[in-house]
Amino acid sequence: MDNEKEYICGEKCPHYKKINEVKLTEPTDKQIEKISDMFKLFSDNTRLRIICSILNTELCVCDLCELLNLNQSTVSHQLQLLRNAKLVKYRREGKQIYYSLQDEHIEKIISLSLEHILEEEGK
């Protein structure tokens, strides 16, 4: 029986009622995985700078290299990850390939986080 499990702490804690309530609203493992994967892509300086660069415009790979002073290989590798996650879309025009954000959620999330740290700075 579940009741017979030995818990880390005594009878007051864990608070089973609360725990059961929280359980109902928790994202599924799959959802957690997807969200954390997305945040993982936002969590690297290089990728974040790339994302911020194309928040409101499209840029080609060498624009990004020049703008961010990065190796072409580095940029392409990171763009591949963003592409695979469908966070960015791209179109070819002659030799160049232009990248831009896939949808507005990305923009919103980044803006919100920027807001957050700006507020922190103000304190």
Partner DNA sequence: TTTTCATATGCATATATGTTCATATGTTAA
Partner DNA sequence: TTAACATATGAACATATATGCATATGAAAA
- Residue ranges binding DNA (CB under 7 A): 8-10, 13, 40, 43-46, 60-62, 65, 70-81, 90, 92, 94-97
Nearer to its own copies, 9 or 80 (CB): 9
Nearer to DNA, 97 or 109 (CB): 97
Q: Which does 91 bind (CB under 5 to 8 A by kind): its own copies, DNA, none?
A: none
Whole-angstrom Cα distance, residue 18 to residue 88?
40
The SS3 assignment for 9 reads coil
Rounded least distance, CB 14 to DNA, Å = 8
Q: Are 71 and 103 in contact (CB under 8 A)?
A: no
- Give the residue carrying structure tokens 């807001």: 115
Asked whether position 86 contacts its own copies by CB under 8 A, the answer is yes
Q: How far apart, in Å, do the first and last CA atoms of the chain sit?
A: 51
Near its own copies by CB under 8 A: residue from 1, 6, 119, 122: 119
Asked whether position 49 contacts its own copies by CB under 8 A, the answer is yes
Nearer to DNA, 54 or 79 (CB): 79
Give the number of other Cβ atoms within 10 Å of residue 87's Cβ: 19
Q: Are 61 and 75 in contact (CB under 8 A)?
A: yes
Rounded least distance, CB 51 to its own copies, Å = 10
Whole-angstrom Cα distance, residue 113 to residue 119?
10
